[in-house]
Amino acid sequence: MPDSALGVLVLAAGKGTRMKTVLPKVLLPILDKPMLGYLLKAVLEIVPSGVAVLVGHQGEHVRDYLRAFPSVKVLWQKEQLGTGHAVQVSREWWSRFGQLLVLNGDLPFLSPDALKSFVEEHRSAGVDCSLLSFVTDRPDGYGRVLRGPEGVSIVEHKDASPQQRLIQEVNAGCYVFTTEALLRVIGRLENHNAQGEYYLPDVVGLMNAEGLKVHASIAGEDELLGVNTQAELAEMTRRMRDALVQSWMAKGVRVLDPSAVWVGPDAKLAPDVCLMPGVQVWGESVVGKDSTVGPYCILRNAVLGQGVNLTAYVIVEDSQLRDGAKAGPFAYIREGSLLDEGAFAGKFVELKKTHVGRGSKVPHLSYMGDAVLGEDANIGAGSVTCNYDGKNKFPTKIGDRCFVGSDTMMVAPVTLGDDSATAAGSTITADVPEGALAVGRARQRNIEGWVRAKKRQR
Ligand code: UD1
Ligand code: CA
């Protein structure tokens, strides 16, 4: 390995005790993505290979999440005896690199640019250890950076004297080491401290004592805030939301109330999209140009074409709406559905794995499941595909230009041919030929004078 080869070790084995959750801290989501995902994305942008994540507490879950990052190596710290211990147990992996970047797993705001210039600064300064610090008026919980005549060292909050606690420059949990220098001191950490842990920041003091060169550079607080409590997680989530919504607005998205809209980090919005208050856009959703997402709509992995209009209270999950399609208010478009160009799903309509063909309409109070509707069909109010017999699901096919009368029950599997119609209130149990009217209801009879006769009896 050349001396310049850079390895990255992300520490993600800790409990995150202060979070008080079962899920390990690094998997807690900011918006709809685990905290660790943000850091890894930034890291992989500047270092595509040579990245490892150290897992331990609930490590199986973290490992499972890391399957989404196939180039990332998973290392284990079976017992979590501190951040220094974490670096000790992974020595065999990192000793192959010339330089090692060590990152706490809870740094979701760290940008690729900041990481890059930090590593470059370390290299050009020719030091053995660089660490990032920031100045904050809420330093509680962080390790304080002591700058004395013997150089830089760090004292953890719990070990700090009242005087030291007044220091506002804190350790960010982001370090670059020259591997050779790190190997010289890493075995010498001790755990005689308030937490009985092996602290990685103690390496800094040890290096100073060895006459190795340490450099602490101060960076902006915004990118370096850690996440240690639920309150901080909520605060980070809000900041991330603000940043994302602002960046979409800068690209031409219209947002009526930026404080009332939620957009996840993997969603994509085109210019001239309009987001009304209460909208949530999650997952890999895509919203095309000139589309309006009305109040309180929730999109999750929804793909909307151009000029789509969701009036209000529409939920779209794992489904697609093509150009000019319309939905809502109060529609639920579930997994695997497709509204083709100009199609419409209206009030209190649920679609599941259903393709609504071009220009077809399901305007009110209907359930369509496992159905394929052709073009320009119209589904009367209250119609239902009876697709489930309690055990299996069956398909319904509704042809082009079909006119399904109100309150038609289509007992699947069943096919309605092109240009066919059903009488209102029909229960359709057999296929309907092309162009036919299906009447599947009891014939009405009127009993003349019945009401008057009844009244007379009383
Ligand atoms: C750490 C630093 C502190 C710094 C702060 C910045 C230490 C001792 N202190 O404190 O100086 O100001 O980060 O946020 O390092 N982890 C492991 N194995 C362990 C323990 C922790 O992998 O045995 C991981 C955690 O999952 C986490 C990271 O290391 O991602 C930091 O641990 P955390 O408990 O958050 O450290 P802090 O107490 O915040
Ligand atoms: Ca922390």
Residue nearest to atom 22 of ligand 1 (CA): 13
Q: Give 226's pLDDT tier (boundaries 50, 70, 90).
A: confident
Share of the chain above pLDDT 70, in %: 99
CB 26, CB 34: distance < 8 Å = yes
Does the pLDDT value for residue 179 go beyond 70? Answer: yes
Does the pLDDT value for residue 109 go beyond 90? Answer: yes
Domain, as residue range, for 314: 230-438
Same domain? 282 vs 135:
no
Which ligand 1 atom lies nearest to the CA of residue 195? Answer: 8
Same domain? 321 vs 352:
yes
User: CB atoms < 10 A from the CB of 161, how many?
Assistant: 9
Q: Give 435's pLDDT tier (boundaries 50, 70, 90).
A: very high
Mean pLDDT, residues 389-417 taken together: 98
Distance in Å, CA 91 to ligand 2 centroid: 22
Residue of 54, 104, 146 to test ligand 1 pocket, by largest number of atoms within 8 Å of CB: 104
3-state secondary structure of 313: coil
Give the tens place of pLDDT for each residue, 115-156.
Answer: 999 999 999 999 999 999 999 999 999 999 999 988 999 999
Q: Give 425's pLDDT tier (boundaries 50, 70, 90).
A: very high
pTM above 0.85, yes or no: yes
Which ligand 1 atom lies nearest to the CA of residue 154? Answer: 11
Residue of 83, 90, 93, 110 to test ligand 1 pocket, by largest number of atoms within 8 Å of CB: 83
Mean pLDDT, residues 289-299 taken together: 98
Q: Is residue 455 part of a domain?
A: no
Same domain? 235 vs 216:
no
pLDDT of residue 2: 60
User: CB atoms < 10 A from the CB of 222, how many?
Assistant: 12
* DSSP conformation letters of 323-383: TT-EE-SSEEE-TT-EE-TT-EEEETEEEES-EE-TT-EEEES-EEESEEE-TT-EE-TT-
Out of 224, 258, 277, pick the residue that ends a domain: 224
**Cα gap 282→346, rounded to integer Å:** 22
Same domain? 301 vs 376:
yes
CB 432, CB 415: distance < 8 Å = yes
Q: What is the CATH number of the domain that holds 21?
A: 3.90.550.10
Mean pLDDT, residues 173-188 taken together: 97
pLDDT of residue 150: 85
Q: Give 16's pLDDT tier (boundaries 50, 70, 90).
A: confident
Catalytic residue, from 61, 157, 215, 364: name it: 364
Distance in Å, CA 226 to ligand 1 centroid: 9
Mean pLDDT of the chain: 96
Q: Give 17's pLDDT tier (boundaries 50, 70, 90).
A: confident
Give the tens place of pLDDT for each residue, 367-401.
Answer: 999 999 999 999 999 999 999 999 999 999 999 99
User: What own/partner pairs with CB < 8 Å and gap ≥ 24 does 189-192 have?
Assistant: 189/84, 189/85, 189/88, 191/81, 191/82
Same domain? 280 vs 295:
yes
Q: Is residue 457 part of a domain?
A: no
Q: Give 84's pLDDT tier (boundaries 50, 70, 90).
A: very high
Total domain count, the chain: 2
Distance in Å, CA 72 to ligand 1 centroid: 20
Same domain? 249 vs 219:
no
Task: Tell me whether residue 192 is one of the annotated catalytic residues.
Answer: no
Q: Return the residue matching tokens 């060292």.
A: 153
Same domain? 203 vs 261:
no
Distance linking the first and last C-alpha atoms of the chain: 103
Does the pLDDT value for residue 269 go beyond 80? Answer: yes
Same domain? 359 vs 412:
yes
Does the pLDDT value for residue 1 go beyond 60? Answer: no
Does the pLDDT value for residue 3 go beyond 70? Answer: no
Q: What is the CATH number of the domain that holds 384?
A: 2.160.10.10
* DSSP conformation letters of 248-293: HHHTT-EES-GGG-EE-TT-EE-TT-EE-TT-EEETT-EE-TT-EE
Q: From its phi and psi, is residue 11 left (phi > 0), alpha (psi between -120 and 50) or beta?
A: beta
**Cα gap 320→299, rounded to integer Å:** 10
Q: Give 220's pLDDT tier (boundaries 50, 70, 90).
A: very high
**Residues flanking ligand 1, CB < 6 Å:** 11-14, 26, 54, 56, 77, 80-83, 85-86, 104-106, 142-143, 154, 156, 170-173, 199-201, 226, 228
Same domain? 102 vs 126:
yes
